[in-house]
Each structure stands twice: as C-alpha cells, then as structure tokens.
Amino acid sequence: MMNLLFDLRYYVLYPSFFNSVIYPGLIFTAILLLTTIWFERKAAARVQMRVGPYYASKRLGGFMQLIADAVKFVFSEVIIPEGVNPTLFALAPVLAVAMSFIPLSIIPVSVIPPSGSVFSIYFRDFYDPNIGMGVLTGLFVQYNMLLILAIESMYPVFVIFVAWVTNNRFAIVGAVRESYLSVSYDVLLIMATLSMSLEYHTLDLAKIAQSGIPGILANPVAAIVFFIAMLMGSARFPFEIAEAETELVLGAYTEYSGFLFVLTMAGSYVGNLVYALVFTDMFLWGWYPLSGFPGALLTGLKASIVVFFSVFLRAVYGRYRIDQALRGGWKYLLPLTFVSLFIGLVVGYIWIP
C-alpha cells in the first residue's frame, strides 16, 4: 500500500507530468483562466462604475458566474455554418488551444535543490549544468528561451487557420490583421529575448532567473518592449486589433458559437499566461530566492499578477488601428530593441558574471 502511494506520488510529481498537466499546465491554467476572466470583468467593472459578476455567488464576488457561463457555453448549440468543412471547423479551435498549451510544459517554473524538496528525487533527471541545480519543467532544454518563443509564434498560424476554415469576410480581415501583427510582435519578442540572452550569456531561462539579478533592473528597455509585445501577442487592449468587436465582430472567431467559441477565447488567455511566465522568469526574478514547490508558486503568483495587469488595461484603453500598431512596433519599438541589445551587451559585460 505504502509502495503504491509512493509510486503514485512519484509519477504525479514527475515534472514532465506535473508541469504539463497540473502546474502550470492544464489544471492550473484552467483555474487561472477562469480567475483571469473573472478579474478582468471585476476590475473593468470597478473602474466603470459597475459591480460586475455578483449574483452567481455573492460571497465569492461572483466567481461562480464564470463557471455558470462556461457550463452555459458548453451546452449551447454549436452552429456550423453552411459551406464550411465541419471537420476542420471543429478542429481548428481545438488545435489552436492545444498549440497554445504546449509551451507551458517547457517553461521552467522553479529549481530543484539536490535535497529537501518534494522534487529532489528528480534532481538528476532535470539537472541543469548552467546553474548546477535541477529545473522544474516538463522538458528541460538548454535553449528553452528560443524553443518557447518558436512554439508560441506558431499560434497565429492557427488563428489564421481558424479564420480560413470559417470562410467569413470579417474573419478573413481579422486573420489578415493577425498575420500583420504577429510578424511585428514576434520580432520584438525575439529581439527583447535576444538582448536578455546576450546580457546573461545564456539561452536558458532558468539561469537568468537563478542569477539573482532581476532583468527588469538590468535591462528595463527590454522589459518594456517585451511587455508591449506580449500585449500585442495575446490580443490584449490596446492591441485587441484582430478581434475588434465593433469593427470585425471578433475577427477570426466570428462564426464560432458554444463550446468552440470558448476554446477560441481561451487560446489568447493561455498565450498571455505563457508570455507572462516567460516575462516573470526573464525580468521578475522568477522563483528566486525560493526553490522547489514554493518557488514554483512564487513564479505562478508573479505571472498571475502580470496577466492580471495586462487584462486590467482593458479598462484604460481602446484599441489602436492596425497601421498604428504596426508603426509603433516597427518604427518606435524596434529601434528600442536595438537600444536594449546595446544595454544587454554593455551591462552583461560589466555586471553579470
């Protein structure tokens, strides 16, 4: 019996499983997703002279409203428009969401000390030679910064796919906007990441976080650029351009209803979380100075705050026009990334071992 429990614990806590399914993977993300949407609605309501969700559970501040909405969406009819390929139509949002989840299992959320943590038994399997410690992540790759961004940059392709299968004019205009945007924010993300990797002499997120020097101090320019690119990349205000309710009727997702609609919405929130986790590791110290499970919680907490702040901006901004966003990206932020590269080189040389 004890053995069985131990085995179970061994497998449940095994980082490849734990990270991709429990934390920060599926389960945690699903909960955080609901919380984020709840927070978004509540925060916007507070700013906007309203109360927001309330009656579904007064004591929880209306949190249950999200569950109720989700249940309602699940049971509402999925309307498949005529003239589309039903298989692809149903598959597209599923693929998009699945895609957005993948990076979660590569992001390091904490380090594993050789002993003293529940994860210490996996120390050897997830050993990171750069920092001399284990890394709590689904799959440890030394070049995880690049891998995460590479996978995440696939997401817009799926948005375009979604728009293409729905064969709706508004959706296609939305997809065109998304494709323009994705090119510009991807460049910014990669440049900001690159300057950080130059600064910390590594492509390993774990090393940056574990170095004990918060990236936001070492390279604030990169942090700003990364944050703005994150807003663009996850369709947050003021860059909610590809969805644009009043212009494009939700862009690529126009034709979706019911459960499929929930999936399409979930994708951008998950994307936001991925970027926020990377942002936390890269600029906000990640789990440092904790380690093990508490460290992972700290990372999650910081990332949630980043996500919350980015959804809060809904209450402050409208949306830019696509050309303004592109101009901002290419004309103002791209030169800034060169500055951040330079800062990265200089500060990395002087300060960071």
Partner 1 sequence: MDSIKIKEYKKGDSSLNLVTGHLKAVGTGVKYFVKPQRITLKYPEESLSLPTGYRGMIRLYKDVCIGCTLCAMVCPADAMKMATDQGKKFPTINYGRCVFCGFCVDICPVDALKETGVHDAAFSSRRELFFSPDKFNQDFDQPPVELLVKKVKAVIDEEKGIKYVPDTD
Partner 2 sequence: MTDQAEELMKSGGMEIDVIPVSGELNVGPQHPGSGHLRIYVRLNGDIIEEAQVEPGYVHRAVEKLGENRNYIHLIPLVERPAILDSIHMNLGYIMAVEKILGVDVPDRAQYLRSFAAEISRIASHLYGMGILAIFIGHSTGFMWGFGDREVWVQILEALTGARITNSYVIPGGVRRDLTPTIVEMTRKAVTYMRRKIKDWENIFLNNPNVKARLQDVGIMTREQAIEWGAVGPNLRGSGVYYDVRKVEPYAAYSRLDFEIPVYKEGDGYARTLVRFEEIQQSLNILEQIIRDIPEGQILSDRFFKQIPPTRLKKWWEGQRRVVMPGYYASFRPPKGEAVTRVEAGRGELLYYVVSDGSAKPYRLRMITPSYRSIYVMQNLLKGVRYADLVSIYGSLDYFPPEADR
Give contact residues for partner 2 (rule: CB under 8 A).
44, 47-50, 82-87, 164, 167, 169-170, 172-173, 176, 237-238, 240-241, 244-247, 249, 314-324
d(CA 173, CA 92) in angstroms, rounded, equals 17
Task: Report the nearest approach of partner 1 to the CB of residue 317 (Å).
Answer: 7
Task: List the one residue from 33, 37, 43, 298 that touches partner 1 (CB under 8 A).
Answer: 43
- Three-state SS letters, 19-57: HHHHCCCHHHHHHHHHHHHHHHHHHHHHHCCCCCCCCCC
Q: Is 248 in contact with 170 (CB distance < 8 Å)?
A: yes
Site for partner 1 in 277-316 (CB under 8 A): 312-313, 315-316
Task: Tell me the pairing of strands 110-112 and 127-128.
Answer: unpaired
Task: Report the nearest approach of partner 1 to the CB of residue 71 (Å).
Answer: 23
What are phi and psi for residue 273, nearest 5 degrees? -65, -40
At a CB cut-off of 8 Å and minimum separation 6, what does 110 contact? 119, 135, 136, 286, 287, 290, 291, 292, 293, 294, 295, 296, 298, 299
Beta strands in the chain (DSSP E): 110-112, 127-128, 133-136
Task: List the one residue from 12, 31, 47, 60 that touches partner 1 (CB under 8 A).
Answer: 47
Task: Report the nearest approach of partner 2 to the CB of residue 317 (Å).
Answer: 5
Place of tokens 């293409």: 164
Task: Report the nearest approach of partner 2 to the CB of residue 2 (Å).
Answer: 55
Q: Which is nearer to partner 2, 127 or 320 (CB)?
A: 320
Task: List the one residue from 49, 83, 246, 353 that touches partner 1 (CB under 8 A).
Answer: 49
C-alpha neighbours within 13 Å on the C-beta side of residue 206: 31
Q: Which is nearer to partner 2, 154 or 315 (CB)?
A: 315
Task: Report the nearest approach of partner 2 to the CB of residue 92 (Å).
Answer: 13
Site for partner 1 in 205-264 (CB under 8 A): none
Q: How would you class 18 by CB atoms within 10 Å of its CB: exposed for 0-12, middle for 13-18, buried for 19 or more? A: buried
Q: Which is nearer to partner 1, 102 or 231 (CB)?
A: 231
Site for partner 1 in 52-111 (CB under 8 A): 54
AA letter at 216: I
Task: Report the nearest approach of partner 1 to the CB of residue 346 (Å).
Answer: 23
- The SS3 assignment for 116 reads coil
Q: Which is nearer to partner 2, 16 or 179 (CB)?
A: 179
Q: Is 349 in contact with 198 (CB distance < 8 Å)?
A: no
Choose one: 50-58, 133-141, 151-159, 290-298; the region binding partner 1 (CB under 8 A): 50-58
Q: Which is nearer to partner 1, 29 or 310 (CB)?
A: 310
At a CB cut-off of 8 Å and minimum separation 6, what does 208 contact? 196, 200, 202, 215, 281, 282, 286
Task: List the one residue from 8, 27, 30, 51 that touches partner 1 (CB under 8 A).
Answer: 51
- Choose among partner 2, partner 1, none what residue 312 binds, the Cβ cut-off being 5 to 8 Å by kind: partner 1
Q: Which is nearer to partner 2, 168 or 219 (CB)?
A: 168
Place of tokens 């497998």: 11
Task: List the one residue from 6, 7, 12, 46 that touches partner 1 (CB under 8 A).
Answer: 46
Site residues (vs partner 1, CB under 8 A):
43, 45-51, 54, 312-313, 315-317
